[in-house]
Amino acid sequence: MKESFVTNPILWADVPDPSVIRVDDIYYMVSTSMHSMPGCPIMKSKNLKDWEIINYVFQTLEDNDAHNLMNGQHIYGKGSWAVSLRYHQKTFYVCFSSNDMQQFYIYTTKNLEAGDWNRVVFDGLYHDPSLLFDNDRLFVIYGNGDIRITELTPEATKVKENGIHRLLLSTASKNIRLRCEGCHAYKRNGYYYLFFIEWPADGNQRRRQICYRSKDLLGPYEMRVVLDDDMGYHNKGIAQGGIVDTKEGRWFALLFQDHDAVGRIPHLVPVSWEDDWPIFGTCGKVPSEFISPLPETQQAPLVISDEFQYETNKLALNWQWNHNPNNELWSLTERKGYLRLRTGHITKSVEFARNTLTQRTEGPRCTAITKLDFKQMKPGDRAGLVALQSHYAWIGVLAGNEQDFYIGIGEKGDLGEEDITASTLYTSDTVYLKASFDFENSKDFVEFSYSNDGITWEMIGQKIKLHYTLDHFMGCRVGLFNYATQNINGMVDFDFFHYKKR
């Protein structure tokens, strides 16, 4: 077996709050997806570095105005947070909280790749939860600073009557910007281990990985800082995530690092043990490269090109909608070889446009190109290619009131309104649109260009700065959109989506 060569980061894209398990010799990971639907992507790997999307936990989480992006409501920065993945007695468990719903969710299935999911909803928030199976008992450990434990029934359907429900420990609060959260709980060699992320206001003043351990589930717990490293990247600490072992007994941690506009990107860290304390990395540092005993495999693309050659209205797993889609207003089959997007409601910005279809962006640089047939747009419609964050920017076609069409740039202005910052008259009814991203060393720019033949390109506008902000709480996504500002029932056809990582 050929050992694998690991280079950090293992994925230069937004895969936040990773929770990883091993079942036999296969590794599975779930991560946070917030307002993107379907939600809670499940990835699979043989070596912890080459990951493939294989499923989602849910197609939609709730059906209301906020989740449907209607009547000015939204779930940006909300939705599913900090997912926990566990496997017990041939059943997979996924749990998370939703801030907008003020609810805690547990999904279970016997088949992670193709099975049906059973869903149970609990009232109240269990912030950044971790499930812990201890013999025949089930606990959820959660909280920010004040860490609580609640016992559930073994079948994970309700809080256990007369079970444990109490404050487990209070983490440090002095000189702390962010108290411990993001729990990952384990039991190993007679100890209970709780891993957290913490952000101190003194010392290195960056996020770091904390470990609490105890021989008794209810404590007392002792604490160590197990990782405080940024790999030389703008003092952004690598932290929050869990540990997993190989069949041969080697250990690794999967953690993330903030990389500004591209999002929170995962790193793989070797873990050893000394006196039953985990030792992360090499001499306290995350190695930029190392040899892993796990087998070398082929990396499946996280972001894909798509010719939209589908027999049914079922997209590749790499695609996610921005909020819940209206399934009556999109099609892969009405016009063979095209993605058709119809308008169904009036809005003033792409941020509230339904049926925006997105994928992640990737560093250090990437480019997306699409071809758009817009002859059936209505006056006031806008359609094109978006770099979607809170401070979004897009290139697209603007339909005028006199059958005039313009290629324009839209941006979110300082007052939150959508501003058209550049435009030029365009006389054809098809156009190629390009978005070129540069995330290297947090440059975080996008520039837009267009073409009538896909060969000769004309840049429009200036380079636009991208920003990671907590109101969206996700890395920049690239998306295809169509929305109406005056009249509904217009439509556009996207011929393809071509993507290249550079």
- What is the DSSP annotation of 214-274? ESSTT---EEEEEE---TTSTT--EEEEEEEE-TTS-EEEEEEEE-GGG-EEEEEEEEEEE
The predicted structure's pLDDT at residue 414: 84
pLDDT per residue of the chain (502 residues) written in tens, 0 to 9: 678 999 999 999 999 999 999 999 999 999 999 999 999 999 999 999 999 999 999 999 999 999 999 999 999 999 998 999 999 999 999 999 999 999 999 999 999 998 899 999 999 999 999 999 999 899 999 999 999 999 999 999 999 999 999 999 999 999 999 999 999 999 999 999 999 999 999 999 999 999 999 999 999 999 999 999 999 999 999 999 999 999 999 999 999 999 999 999 999 999 999 999 999 999 999 999 999 999 999 989 999 999 999 999 999 999 999 999 999 999 999 999 999 999 999 999 999 999 999 999 999 999 999 999 999 999 999 999 999 999 999 999 999 988 899 999 999 988 889 999 999 999 999 999 999 999 999 999 999 999 999 999 999 999 999 999 999 999 999 999 999 999 999 999 999 999 999 8
Domain ranges of the chain: 3-295, 320-501
Nearest to 381 by CA among 394, 400, 395: 400
**Residues 6 or more apart from 14 whose CB is under 8 A from it?**
262, 263, 264, 265, 360, 361, 474, 475, 476, 477
3-state secondary structure of 70: coil
Chain centroid to Cα 494, Å, comes to 25
Residue 66 burial (C-beta neighbours within 10 Å; 0-12, 13-18, 19+): buried
**Residues 6 or more apart from 441 whose CB is under 8 A from it?**
364
CA distance 372 to 338: 9
Q: Is 181 a catalytic residue?
A: yes
- CA dist 77 → 98, 318, 359, 389, 502 (Å): 10, 21, 17, 11, 29
CA distance 482 to 57: 27
Q: Are 199 and 177 in contact (CB under 8 A)?
A: yes
The predicted structure's pLDDT at residue 500: 98
- From the candidate CATH numbers 2.60.120.920, 3.40.1160.10, 2.60.120.200, 3.30.160.100, the one assigned to the domain spanning 320-501: 2.60.120.200
H or E element, residue 396: strand 393-399
CATH fold of 3-295 reads Tachylectin-2; Chain A (2.115.10)
Nearest to 451 by CA among 481, 430, 420: 430
The predicted structure's pLDDT at residue 395: 98
Of 17, 373, 411, 493, catalytic: 17
Of 14, 50, 128, 181, catalytic: 181
- Please state, as a whole number, how many other Cβ atoms lie within 10 Å of the Cβ of residue 427: 7
The predicted structure's pLDDT at residue 354: 97
